[in-house]
Amino acid sequence: MQLLSATQSAQEGPRKQAEQQLQSLYAHQDFTVALVEIARHESVPLNIRQAALLYLKQVVLAGWSDSMDDFKGQIFVSDVTKAKIRRLLLDLATTDQLDRKLKAAAGLVVSKIASADFPDEWPDLLDNLLTLIPTASDGRLHGALKVLDELIDDCFNETQFFAVAHQLIKVVHDVAVSDARKPTLRALACSVFRGCLDMLEMVLEDHKAAVKSFADEVLKQWLPFFIDIMKTRLPDPPSEQEENEDAPNAEAYRGMVALKLQVVKVRSCSRQRVVTILIMIGSYAHTFGFPRHVVATEPCSLLRDVGGAVVVTSCISSNVHNRGAPEPAGGHRRTAVYTRFPGFGGTRLHASMSPCSARARRA
């Protein structure tokens, strides 16, 4: 704990010395367990607990498995210790009462471990998450969805994904459509679904028929929900004082904004087409219910007001071509969504999509 605290120092000398001492402990069999226990300990300051998870991630990348990109040539953790770390970390990432940044950090380490151990060494990981989600408290649900999002982004190959895709998408759909859940959690469920669509895009070239059939099936479930959310009006925006005090109506407003934006960002695409959702929304612009404070700051082929969001489209599909958008010289297709909401710090670029890797596009 003293070394982890010293890594937070503003003085370069003590900070570097602490970092070197921590690195020298990587191969110690008790080091990873100590880091997890520090991260789990409620009396330890939050910044130290976060630092423990940061160093745990570095140990995992350097010496958990020879399949890691940053593997240093030596396995630092025994099989017995690995089993303990997996269990403790998943509990930490999906616990109820815990700082969300800390849970997110634990979830990230879970995904790094799972990239090497799932499914052979960690076969029950996904089953545990999918069993937890339907009845989880808000805190546990948030953690489980964040871990699931990381797993889809980092760990699944096509065989693993299609083996669980129906069950996975049903579980997150049930969260997304539930009025009993907070809008922020429903938005996170939509983000997980978006990750599933990214996975479909990545395997589209090799499995066109299977992907099309599967996408058609699941979108029949999701599209009515998307349209309902688009049509739902936002509650009255909170005052500045209510924002500062994090009043319940401020949280509700932010949650609905997050849910609407996640719905708009969900997309099913090939290398040549981006989202039928973004094409479709022009027909429903007047019903979306976003506040009309909109600024678009970049040149565009086609500008569409989406009731408070602006979809700036450059040649995304034949639908757009038919509306007169010119084909860009390189054949690239891009879409950007800009919004400006009162109290949210001005105009923001919420999504920018182009035909690149799923991970780069999501980032």
For 101-133, what is each residue's pLDDT tens digit?
A: 899 999 999 999 998 999 899 999 999 999 999
Contact, 335 vs 306, CB < 8 A? no
Greatest C-alpha distance within the chain: 65
pTM of this structure:
0.71
Closest C-alpha to 311, from 362, 271, 355, 276: 276
What are the residue boundaries of the structural domains of the chain, listed by start?
A: 1-155
Confidence (pLDDT) at 39: 96
pLDDT value at 309 more than 60: no
Smallest CA-to-CA distance from 174 within 213, 145, 140 is with 145
Answer with the residue of higher pLDDT: 99 or 178: 178
Please state, in angstroms and as integers, the Cα–Cα distance from residue 287 to each residue in 78, 189, 234, 311, 351, following that order: 58, 23, 11, 15, 21
CA dist., res. 108 & res. 93, Å (int): 9
| % the chain with pLDDT above 70 | 73
pLDDT given at position 163: 85
Burial of 286 (0-12, 13-18, 19+ CB in 10 A): exposed
Query: What confidence tens digit (pLDDT) does each residue in 40-83 have?
Result: 999 999 999 999 999 999 999 999 999 898 899 999 999 999 99
Per-residue confidence band for 37, with pLDDT thresholds at 50, 70 and 90: very high
Q: How far apart, in whole angstroms, are the C-alpha atoms of residue 216 and residue 269?
A: 12
Confidence at residue 129, expressed as pLDDT on a 0 to 100 scale: 95
Contacts of 107 (CB under 8 A, 6+ apart): 93, 143, 146, 147, 150
